[in-house]
Amino acid sequence: MSAPHAVARNRLRRRLRALVAPIVSHHPGVDIVVSAPAALDAVAANALRDAVVPLVSGAIAEARGR
């Protein structure tokens, strides 16, 4: 992989971490693994948030048995 791909991948990783961290911080002992195609780097911040936050929240609720 060339440097431009690494830059996009790392930018996406930071964006996802910023979205997930506030949710996970309220649930100690929960680990989240996210797999995303590099193309998501081009997705607008609001659209990414609207897609990721409900999925992560739902996964945590399901893991906690709620």
Instruction: List pLDDT tens digits, range 27-64.
Output: 988 888 888 888 888 999 999 999 999 999 999 999 88
pTM assigned to the model: 0.81
Instruction: State the DSSP code for 43.
Output: S
Average pLDDT of the residues in 7-12: 91
Residues contacting residue 40 through CB under 8 Å, at least 6 positions apart: 12, 48
- The average pLDDT across 14-36 equals 90
**pLDDT at residue 16, rounded to an integer:** 94
Q: Which pLDDT score, from 0 to 100, does residue 29 have?
A: 86
Decide: 38 and 9 in contact? Cβ < 8 Å. yes
26 φ, ψ (degrees, to nearest 5): -85, 0
